[in-house]
Amino acid sequence: MAELQQQRVPLSLPRIARRRFLAAGAALPVLGLAGCSTPLPLVRSEAVAHDPAAERLLQQSADEHGWGAYLGLQDINVRYEGAWRPLIDRVQPVVVDKGFRGSSEERLMPQAGVVAQAFTGPAGSKHVLWQRGQAGAVHPGQVAVWFNGQPSTQAAADAAAALVAEAYGLFLLGPLWLAGQGHAMQLGGKARVDGRACQVVQVWKRPGLGRVALDRVAAFIDAELGIVRRVRFTLEGFANTQGAVAEVDTFEHQRRFGVLWPMRSYEEVVHPIRLPAHDWRIVGLDVNRGYGLAALNGPSFSGAAAAPAAPL
């Protein structure tokens, strides 16, 4: 399976949908609206009966994504370019952080649970260094943020940055980011993603996305090819997104360095309202430069981490 292609998500919204989203954007300043209709009710993972069949299915998907090669990656260097959809910055301005989160250079040390991000936007530069807490533990991890070279003093901005950094590890690596972490899992039925039949695996991710003990992630695994087409997830790590659920679909997969990468991704909020959020593409990628954590510390990358990701 050298390369997989999938239909792209259209960049424009139907006229009726645009009107609905305009009305929704005017009515809802935040997404932190919990409710019984949420598609991912969040219960304590200790109360979940772990299903070994679900864990096997997720591991099989990780194998399809290149598990063996992934374990040999000391560092991953990626460049993204993308566009925010209308309204999402008005609904969640701190998480979107549109003034800074334009294009990005990102560095991951996957075996250490580290994600570092260097964003560039109309307001300047933003640098994030995130390290996840130990697998299966309540400890939330550590985050540091710099805006235009100065350390952040905003607790809300730091919490949102931690959520985004951990989430982007998940979006890029899918089952590779979830497998082997000791998470409780259950089979979640069948679904279709862009016409493809999928089996759903529900994962109680501990720690969660960012500085929170627990999030729930649903991985939609292609029934024929075994790859993850979609992840749906809670957003408990930031006060204004608690109770919200979003999902990311991945497209145009390519195998490089033995790992399957989603070259195009599309994010949408699905609860409490449905709202398009973000399109982005990988435009640069290389691996195993050999740097350590110190090279990712802010306010900018240094040493072997400093050069841009190799253009594609």
pLDDT tens digit sequence for 243-296: 999 999 999 999 999 999 999 999 999 999 999 999 999 999 999 999 999 999
Average pLDDT over residues 299-312: 98
> What's the pLDDT score for residue 42?
78
DSSP H helices in 28-106: 52-65, 67-70, 88-91, 93-96
- CATH architecture designation of domain 39-305: Clam (2.50)
Cβ 285 vs Cβ 258: under 8 Å: no
End-to-end CA distance of the chain: 20
Decide which of 45 and 288 is more confident: 288
Cβ-proximal residues to 136 (8 Å cutoff; 6+ apart), any chain: 181, 182, 183, 206
Residue 60: pLDDT over 50: yes
Residue 18: pLDDT over 60: no
| Half-sphere exposure (Cβ direction) of 279: Cα atoms closer than 13 Å | 11
Average pLDDT over residues 126-130: 98
Q: What does DSSP say about strands 259-261 and 264-271: parallel, antiparallel, or unpaired?
A: unpaired
Residue 29: pLDDT over 60: no
How confident is residue 91, by pLDDT bands cut at 50, 70 and 90? confident
Q: Among 280, 305, 312, 276, which residue's Cα sits nearest to residue 290?
A: 305
> What's the pLDDT score for residue 15?
35
> What's the pLDDT score for residue 66?
98
Q: Which helix (H) or strand (E) holds 294?
A: none
Q: What percent of the chain has pLDDT over 90?
A: 79
Q: Which helix (H) or strand (E) holds 79?
A: strand 76-84
Residue 160: pLDDT over 60: yes
Query: Which tokens in the block code for residue 86?
Result: 């209308």
Cβ 223 vs Cβ 198: under 8 Å: yes
CB atoms within 10 A of CB 18: 14
Residue 136: pLDDT over 70: no
Cβ 223 vs Cβ 206: under 8 Å: no
Cβ 131 vs Cβ 199: under 8 Å: no
Cβ 255 vs Cβ 63: under 8 Å: no
CB atoms within 10 A of CB 121: 15
Residue 309: pLDDT over 60: yes
> Which position has the token pair 């989430």?
167
Residue 1: pLDDT over 70: no
Residue 28: pLDDT over 60: no
